[in-house]
């Protein structure tokens, strides 16, 4: 039961009660970080860990399934060796992924519907198992080991009203498990972050006695909960992490006081999910590849005006949302900078810059004979999805490449969101009505690139990423660890490929070299030239003059200082710019995200064009 003071009373042996109170003075008011913890960045699929004075970070996960496009982290001692292992749960595909300190990965499916993961020792045997919390039902389902046939169901606490097809909604009920009373068995808890209330139940009871208590300090609302043996004494604390202040708060059972400590791990401006565990030392020696091994040179040796370049780099440093900037001149890396906690080994979601890489794959499929030519109808590959009498039979590969298929679409709008949330995105895109005849009008659509990815799977007889590895990435020594899938398993064609910044610049250099690398014609030269020219003129007239803008085959084109520039561009500022006349490649990643995607991209465009122009001016002397 709960007392008015907010202290939880849930039956406990007197000697344990005395022990807990006896230990409560060990930390007093000391504002110390937990001994061992982690922070997971969903935006980078990257885990940062700390134990004592050791810190490390590494890429973790193989990508998520749409529409949620997010993996949820947790941790537990799943083999009873005394060390915790980080884990991820994909709430759409229901796949659990556990990363052991020896590098091995365990994957298995568990659960149905929309669920959140939790781990704990449900029976006191010293081994943690996976559990799932279904917020709409207010119910936990607990595994015994990885044996789904041995399940325990526990229901308590409030229930959420969620739309499983809406990936933008806020979930305010979060599961937690911890040994708060030192009985060797983890107690289940739910934290209502909207109302700052904890609900507790004994995890080994199917009809538990439920206790609750409120948290009365302002930072508790909206905070993310956790449980942690903060000081390594065998008793878990209740914990809360506040994103805005990058602070964790803790309290013990029967103790009213919450103690806060600002975390030293992780960049404060990032979005984090806390993951608490006791990490094996081998996690701190995981290798972090940094991508392509560039030959470097001083900018001045490559005909760059250093004074002008310094001005450009100063402007870049002042951009609050720029993550990385790499400049390649004459095939030499002359500048490489990372900002706001980013590093060379941190992968970035390319967003729609993925489309330009998909363009290369379509070119390779044409070269390899998997596709007849760019005029091959989509209906010849998916006849079952297009009615014989429909004008959609006129849609061909070139229409996909130039965004002129005529199918209804509003990027980041209702149609986009509805299609992304379906079980079969390919079918949903092709079911959209025609709003113009194929080939008649430009309408930017990530749905069209998803059709193309599914086409590659169909004609090659395998996974799009496997085809990309065989015909492109393996030849370039590029390791793509994440490319998200839709619910059917097809790689998301127009976005959500993750890449290292050095590899982004290298892909631009490959195009600058007309598709050649290391003696191999990786992409046909004719394809490189044809797809990076302006096919669709999107130039506009403004009071300030004409804005030159065009579209090739999944490449954007423009003119700066009278020179042709073609670019792979992703929402929020994930860009690869190629300026052939100057033998110049500029790659950058940014975090220009707002709730309004259009506003976000406008801000990114203004900053990036000014930065790119300054860099070009430093070379065009």
pLDDT attached to residue 44: 85
Domains 289-346+500-621 and 352-497 are alike in CATH topology: yes
- The 10s digit of each residue's pLDDT in 300-317 is 999 999 999 999 999 999
CA distance 32 to 576: 43
Measured distance CA(344)–CA(288) in Å, rounded: 9
Half-sphere exposure of 450 (CA within 13 A, CB side): 28
Instruction: For the sheet with 247-251, list strands across it.
Output: 224-228, 237-242, 247-251, 259-262
Angle at 133 between CA 126 and CA 114, to 5 degrees: 135
Fold classification of 352-497 (topology level): Beta-lactamase (3.40.710)
Six-digit token string for 557:
């084109």
Model confidence at 376, in pLDDT bands (50, 70, 90)?
A: very high
Considering the entire predicted model, what is its pTM? 0.87
pLDDT at 546: 67
**pLDDT, tens digit (0-9, with 9 covering 90-100), for 136-157:** 999 999 987 656 567 888 899 8
Q: For 428, what's the count of Cα atoms within 13 Å in the CB-facing half-sphere?
A: 19
61 pLDDT tier (thresholds 50, 70, 90): confident
583-608 as b/e: b if 16+ CB within 10 A: bbbbbbbbbbbeeebeebbebbeebb
User: Could you report how far apart the first and last alpha carbons of the chain are, in Å?
Assistant: 76
> CA–CA separation, 202 vs 478, rounded Å?
49
Confidence of residue 321 (pLDDT cuts 50, 70, 90): confident
pLDDT above 70 coverage of the chain, percent = 86
CA distance linking residue 394 with residue 396, whole number of Å: 6
Q: Could you tell me which of 479, 572, 524, 23 has the C-alpha nearest to residue 291?
A: 479
Higher-confidence position of 202 and 476: 476
Q: Which residue has the higher pLDDT, 291 or 234?
A: 291
Q: Name residues whose C-beta falls within 8 Å of residue 233's C-beta, 6 or more positions apart in sequence.
A: 23, 26
Number of neighbours of residue 306 by Cβ within 10 angstroms: 13
Q: What is the pLDDT of residue 20?
A: 36
pLDDT of residue 572: 84
Report whether 323 contacts 604 (CB < 8 A): no
- Average per-residue pLDDT for the chain: 87
Contact status, residue 294 vs residue 302, Cβ threshold 8 Å: no
Average pLDDT of the segment spanning 61-85: 80
- What's the pLDDT tens digit per position in 350-359? 999 999 999 9
CA 148-153-155 angle, 5° bins = 150
Q: Is 106's pLDDT higher than 50? A: yes
Which pLDDT belongs to residue 190? 96
pLDDT score recorded for residue 377? 97
Rounded average pLDDT over 228-257: 90
Q: Under CATH, what is the fold of the domain 289-346+500-621?
A: Beta-lactamase (3.40.710)
What is the mean predicted confidence (pLDDT) over 566-586? Answer: 96
Q: What one-character DSSP code corresponds to residue 9?
A: -
Q: Poorest-confidence range of 202-206, 291-295, 404-408, 617-621?
A: 202-206
Going by C-alpha positions, the residue among 140, 244, 226 that lies closest to residue 180 is 226
- The 10 Å CB-count burial string (b at 16+, else e) for 207-223 is ebebbbbebeeebbeeb
- Return d(Cα 374, Cα 384) in angstroms, integer: 21
Rounded Cα gap, residues 286 and 291, in angstroms: 15
Which of 243, 282, 240, 260 has its CA nearest to residue 43? 243
Max Cα–Cα distance, the chain, nearest Å: 82
Question: Considering only 47-56, 183-192, 459-468, 586-595, which range has the smallest mean pLDDT?
Answer: 586-595
Residue 391: per-residue pLDDT: 93
Per-residue model confidence (pLDDT) at position 64: 61
Mean pLDDT of 496-508: 96
CATH architecture of the region 14-285 = 6 Propeller (2.120)
Task: For CA atoms 408, 412, 418, 424, give the dihedral sign.
Answer: positive
* 313 against 168, higher pLDDT: 313
418-442 pLDDT, tens digit per residue, is 776 677 889 999 999 999 999 999 9
Q: Residue 597 — pLDDT band, cuts 50, 70, 90?
A: very low
Segment 615-619 mean pLDDT: 95
Q: Identify the residue with better confidence: 345 or 598.
A: 345
Q: What average pLDDT score do residues 469-492 get?
A: 92
Q: Residue 491 has what DSSP assignment?
A: B
Both tokens assigned to 465: 């990423």
Q: Rounded to whole angstroms, how far apart are CA atoms 208 and 569?
A: 53
Residue 181's pLDDT is what?
87
User: Could you give the percent of the chain with pLDDT greater than 90?
Assistant: 67
**C-beta of residue 438 within 8 angstroms of C-beta of residue 406:** yes
Query: pLDDT tens across 27-41, in order?
Result: 444 556 677 899 999
* Distance in angstroms (rounded) separating the CA atoms of residues 358 and 198: 47
Measured CA to CA, the distance from residue 262 to residue 178 in angstroms comes to 22
pLDDT recorded at residue 93: 82
- Predicted local distance difference test score (pLDDT) of residue 269: 86
pLDDT for res 347? 92
**Confidence check: pLDDT of 589 > 90:** yes
Nearest to 459 by CA among 346, 571, 575, 367: 367
Nearest alpha-carbon partner for 145 in 80, 93, 83: 80
Choose between 225 and 229: higher pLDDT. Answer: 225
Query: In 483-574, which ranges are continuous DSSP H helix?
Result: 501-512, 525-531
Q: What pLDDT score does 595 carry? A: 44
Residue-level pLDDT at 408: 94
Domain ranges across the chain = 14-285, 289-346+500-621, 352-497
Q: Using CB atoms within 10 A of its CB, is residue 35 exposed (0-12), middle (13-18) or buried (19+)?
A: middle
């Amino acid at each position: 039961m709960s007392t008015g003071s907010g202290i939880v009373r849930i039956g406990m042996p007197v000697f344990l009660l005395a022990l807990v109170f006896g230990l409560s003075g060990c930390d007093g008011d000391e504002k110390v970080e937990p001994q061992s913890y982690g922070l997971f960045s969903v935006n980078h699929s990257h885990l940062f860990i700390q134990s004592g004075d050791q810190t490390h970070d590494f890429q973790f996960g193989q990508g998520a399934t749409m529409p949620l496009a997010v993996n949820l982290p947790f941790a537990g001692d799943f083999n009873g060796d005394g060390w915790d292992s980080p884990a991820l749960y994909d709430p759409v595909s229901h796949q659990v992924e556990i990363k052991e300190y020896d590098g091995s990965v365990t994957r298995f499916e568990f659960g149905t519907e929309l669920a959140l993961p939790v781990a704990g020792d449900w029976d006191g045997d010293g081994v943690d198992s996976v559990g799932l919390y279904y917020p709409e039902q207010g119910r936990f389902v607990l595994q015994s080991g990885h044996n789904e046939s041995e399940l325990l169901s526990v229901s308590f606490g409030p229930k959420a009203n969620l739309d499983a097809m809406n990936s933008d909604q806020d979930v305010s009920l979060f599961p937690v498990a911890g040994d708060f009373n030192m009985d060797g068995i983890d107690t289940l808890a739910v934290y209502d972050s909207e109302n700052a209330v904890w609900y507790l139940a004994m995890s080994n009871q199917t009809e538990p006695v439920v206790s609750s208590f409120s948290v009365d300090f302002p930072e508790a609302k909206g905070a993310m909960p956790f449980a942690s043996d903060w000081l390594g004494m065998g008793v878990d604390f209740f914990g809360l992490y506040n994103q805005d202040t990058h602070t964790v708060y803790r309290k013990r059972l029967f103790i009213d006081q919450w103690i806060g400590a600002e975390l030293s791990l992780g960049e404060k401006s990032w979005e984090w999910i806390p993951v608490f565990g006791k990490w094996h030392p081998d996690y701190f020696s995981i290798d972090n590849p940094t991508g392509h091994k560039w030959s470097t040179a001083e900018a001045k040796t490559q005909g760059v005006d250093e004074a002008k370049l310094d001005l450009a780099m100063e402007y870049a440093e002042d951009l609050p949302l720029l993550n990385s900037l790499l400049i390649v001149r004459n095939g030499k890396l002359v500048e490489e900078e990372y900002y706001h906690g980013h590093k060379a080994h941190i992968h970035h979601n390319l967003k729609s810059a993925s489309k330009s890489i998909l363009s290369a794959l379509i070119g390779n499929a044409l070269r390899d004979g998997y596709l007849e030519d760019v005029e091959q109808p989509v209906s010849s590959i998916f006849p079952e999805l297009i009615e014989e009498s429909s004008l959609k039979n006129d849609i061909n590969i070139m229409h996909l490449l130039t965004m002129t298929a005529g199918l209804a679409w509003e990027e980041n709008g209702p149609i986009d969101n509805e299609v992304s949330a379906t079980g079969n995105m390919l079918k949903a895109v092709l079911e959209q009505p025609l709003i113009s005849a194929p080939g008649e009008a430009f309408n930017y659509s990530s749905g069209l690139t998803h059709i193309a990815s599914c086409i590659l799977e169909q004609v090659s007889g395998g996974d799009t990423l496997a085809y990309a590895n065989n015909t492109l990435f393996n030849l370039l020594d590029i390791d793509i660890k994440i490319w998200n899938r839709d619910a059917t398993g097809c790689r998301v064609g127009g976005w959500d490929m993750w890449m290292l910044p050095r590899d982004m610049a290298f892909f631009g250099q490959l195009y600058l070299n007309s598709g050649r690398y290391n003696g191999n014609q990786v992409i046909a030269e004719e394809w490189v030239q044809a797809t990076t020219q302006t096919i669709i003129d999107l130039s506009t007239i403004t009071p300030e003059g004409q804005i030159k803008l065009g579209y090739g085959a999944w490449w954007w084109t423009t003119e700066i200082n009278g020179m042709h520039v073609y670019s792979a561009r992703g929402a929020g500022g994930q860009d690869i710019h190629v300026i052939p006349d100057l033998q110049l490649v500029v790659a950058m990643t940014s975090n220009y995200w707002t709730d309004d995607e259009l506003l976000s991209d406008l801000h990114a465009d203004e900053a990036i064009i000014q930065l790119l122009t300054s860099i070009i001016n430093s070379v065009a002397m």
